[in-house]
Amino acid sequence: MLRIAVLVSGGGTNLQALLDAKARGEIPHGEFVRVIASRPDAYALTRAASAGIEGVVISRKSFADLAAYDAAILASLQECGAQLVVLAGFLSILGPTVIHAYRDRIINIHPALIPSFCGKGYYGLRVHEAALERGVKVTGATVHLVNEIPDGGRILMQKAVEVKDGDTPEILQRRVMEQAEWLLLPRAVEEQCALWETRLQTSDGR
């Protein structure tokens, strides 16, 4: 099984979707070995502890610059032997050190149909506020690979979600999570685990 590290910043609902999927046997090719939080008060750490997964805090404020922060995250990923990295509501932007070390092995879930409402500054409720302000009738979620451009990596999966009359950003956010994010992310993680397990076995000559 591929060793997976999950990076989080807040409540960890997407992390919980992954843990629940794993418990149901839906991620047979991966195991969660560490949760890295950007904030010490992230409830995702409680979710990790309840599942018996090690949680660590690496706060951006503790480092003088992005390079030092990036180096600390990479060191933590390497320490736990992570082979796949999942950004599940991680609000900090990864620097080139981590991206280069895990090229095509970092996936992110974004609460919109990329290329709409994505890129720098579009995260959390801001995405849903923008969708409602624009008046779109359909939104959704996207799982994509991470590269040096925010939300610019190759798209792996998307799922559309209806925008309804009377929606608030909070109501729309919940619907997108329930109907798209919590379904797509476990599927994408399993797909990538199976893919990389085969690639790594081949490279080892097995």
Question: How do residues 144-190 score in pLDDT, each as one tens digit?
Answer: 999 999 999 999 999 999 999 999 999 999 999 999 999 999 999 99
* Residue 205, pLDDT score: 58
Q: What is the DSSP string of 112-154?
A: S-TTSS-STT--THHHHHHHHHHT-SEEEEEEEE--SSTT-SP
Widest CA span of the chain, in angstroms?
Answer: 57
Digit-coded pLDDT (tens) for 105-123: 999 999 999 999 999 899 9
Tokens read off for 12: 């960890």
Q: How confident is the model at residue 201 (pLDDT cuts 50, 70, 90)?
A: confident
How far apart (Å, rounded) are the C-alpha atoms in residues 147 and 96?
8
Q: Which of 29, 100, 110, 144 is catalytic?
A: 110
Whether 128 is catalytic is no
Question: pLDDT higher for 43 or 202?
Answer: 43
The total domain count for the chain is 1
Q: How far apart are the first and last CA of the chain?
A: 15
Q: What is the pTM of this model?
A: 0.94
Return the residue matching tokens 């939104």: 139
* Residue 206, pLDDT score: 53
Question: Taking the alpha carbons of 147, 148, 151, 154 in that order, is the dihedral positive or negative?
Answer: negative
The percentage of residues in the chain with a pLDDT greater than 70, rounded to a whole number, is: 99
Q: What is the CATH number of the domain that holds 114?
A: 3.40.50.170
Instruction: Quote the domain boundaries for residue 46.
Output: 2-203
